[in-house]
Structure 1
Amino acid sequence: MTEGTAADTSWLESMPEVYDRCLGLATFAPFAADISLRALELPHARVLELAAGTGIVTAGLVEALPDAEIVATDLNQAMVTYASSRTPGPTWEVADAQELRYADGSFDLVVCQFGVMFLPDRVGAYRGVRRVLAPGGSFLFNAWDTLETHEVEAAVIDALAELIPDDPPDFLRRVPHGYADPNRIRADVQAAGLHVAELERVELVGRAPSAKVLAEGYCLGTPLRFEIQERAELGDIVPKLTKALARRLGDGLIEGSMAAYVVRATKPE
């Protein structure tokens, strides 16, 4: 697994809105509903969300856990600015999951949806989660399975390989789908002093209204944008990718299966 570069975690101010509008329902909402329901079954008086992004999971947590005190964080100010206006209620803060500033034992539950893949030092970050958890508290997170198990994103990467054959972008394979090894995940969590209570592979279906929406979302609303800009003009690639995805996935409503590993780790009493 290759670690990400600085560009892999960078966001322009315009990107969160595109990311949320184009990819929220298609990719992230189904797993957000899953993780929010799992949170409901756990002690959750004080909740910390890491890598909250545009607040898709945050909104689910607010609905599922109306009495919880929620602190939602992201590394990127652009994300926090957008998400805090989208989902008021939680305390929103810019925070680095690698360097948590919170006091020992501050939270009963830490949640992170599709963020751990971006962490340069996962074991170190998991140790930080362990520190801020109360004894018996839970760390609930998920990570994508391999690129091939995500029908839409596999189609995006295949299409871009045809459009930019000399040096095809590989962000999606390299980073979001680069931690798709349950044995590695388990080992990292245990190395941080947490107990793996559950590690489950979950397969869900994402839905997008059109290939155009997906092409815009991936090209303009994710760090894939920076890889494309190094190789081609965004204005040229978006319509070409739209046509390529329509050939692969259909023209109209698109449904695609996608799989992830969902993990619940606990801090010893």
Structure 2
Amino acid sequence: MDIHGTDKVFAGSIPELYDTYLVPLLFEPYAADLAARAVSLAPRRVLEIAAGTGVLTRSLARSLPESSAIMATDLNQPMLDRAAAVGTARPLSWRQVDAQQLPFDDASFDLVVCQFGVMFFPDKAGAYAEARRVLAPGGTLLFNVWDRIEENAFAHTVTQALAELFPENPPSFFRRTPHGYHERERVLADLSLGGFSKPAASTTLTVQSRASSADTVAMAYCQGTPMRGELEALGPDALARATLACTGALAERFGAGPLTGQIQALVFSVQA
């Protein structure tokens, strides 16, 4: 089994678990931030890439006026199915799309926005080039990425617990992928390779993540992300053992619940 290939697999029960556990735990505050930044740009035509189960989409639909048309896309149809099932405050378009090969005309959008998706793109510069191509002159690419794993308390604790549980083959999904693209200069270099010549603005955004219990956080990380595939490849009972071990590690560090931990991300904005 190609372990690294599971990094982009969001299928089976993952979309529902992701939306139920991870969205409120990690993504809602950053979706509100990106939506507020989008409002300040007053875009008429918005393309969201890597929309996932739609947490940012829902925030954009609430925040932007109805005159702003929103096209929400993702590579994984099961994630879009979940997003569409949950719904949005107003009608918008959903479409399965590869961000590295956008099926849209040049200069089709005023804003391309992406929440925690670019880390999963094999060809990041290529995806940026596509975003630039479909942006109208003066349009904006707006996105965020997770900061280093050590600045994200729950992910770091889970990764350490899994390394102790599986010392011969420590699962590395979180360090490798969600938290594997945090170097500011690397992101800026990829934007340049993608054809963005104007200076990019970037900021660090730190918030506190809250959960009702340690087992909720363990379930979110172990069973609601592509980490699940990496764990299941380690044996028939590995997923259950991992979830239990992570629950214990989180409870030891933060308490059984309610618990609070720091999460941190970088936000980038650049004009075409």
Matched position secondary structure for 2:261: strand
The yes-or-no answer on 1:62 pairing with 2:61 is yes
- Give me the whole-angstrom Cα distance separating, in 2, the residues matched to 1:78 and 1:163: 31
Paired letter, 1:133: L
- Give me the whole-angstrom Cα distance separating, in 1, the residues matched to 2:261 and 2:35: 22
Report the alpha carbon displacement of residue 247 of structure 1 after superposing the two structures with TM: 1.0
Report the alpha carbon displacement of residue 230 of structure 1 after superposing the two structures with TM: 1.6
- Give me the whole-angstrom Cα distance separating, in 2, the residues matched to 1:116 and 1:62: 22
- Give me the whole-angstrom Cα distance separating, in 2, the residues matched to 1:212 and 1:258: 18
Matched position secondary structure for 2:158: helix
Contact 1:58 1:87 in 2 (8 A): no
Alignment root-mean-square deviation, CA: 1.3
Report the alpha carbon displacement of residue 6 of structure 1 after superposing the two structures with TM: 2.3
Report the alpha carbon displacement of residue 164 of structure 1 after superposing the two structures with TM: 1.4
Point out the more displaced range, 8-17 or 112-121. 8-17
Paired letter, 2:42: P
Q: 1:42 corresponds to which residue?
A: 41
- Give me the whole-angstrom Cα distance separating, in 2, the residues matched to 1:240 and 1:120: 31
Report the alpha carbon displacement of residue 138 of structure 1 after superposing the two structures with TM: 0.3
Matched position secondary structure for 1:16: helix
The yes-or-no answer on 1:167 pairing with 2:178 is no
- The 5 Å alignment of 1:81-120 reads 81-88=81-88, 89-120=91-122
* Pick aligned residue for 2:129 from 124, 127, 130: 127
Contact 1:43 1:109 in 2 (8 A): no
- The 5 Å alignment of 1:143-158 reads 143-158=145-160
Matched position secondary structure for 2:41: coil
Q: Structure 1, residues 194-240: CA drift from partner, whole Å, max 9, x if none?
A: 22341111111111111111111111110111111122421232223
Contact 2:132 2:195 in 1 (8 A): yes
Q: 2:221 corresponds to which residue?
A: 218
Question: Unpaired segments of 5 or more residues in structure 2?
Answer: none
- Give me the whole-angstrom Cα distance separating, in 2, the residues matched to 1:17 and 1:126: 29
Paired letter, 1:169: P
Contact 2:188 2:200 in 1 (8 A): no
* Deviating 4+ runs (over 2 angstroms): none
Q: 1:8 corresponds to which residue?
A: 7
* Pick aligned residue for 1:228 from 227, 231, 236: 231
Matched position secondary structure for 1:185: helix
Contact 2:161 2:245 in 1 (8 A): no
Paired letter, 2:97: A
Paired letter, 2:211: A
Q: 2:253 corresponds to which residue?
A: 248
Report the alpha carbon displacement of residue 252 of structure 1 after superposing the two structures with TM: 0.8
In the superposition, the TM-score normalised over structure 2's length comes to 0.94
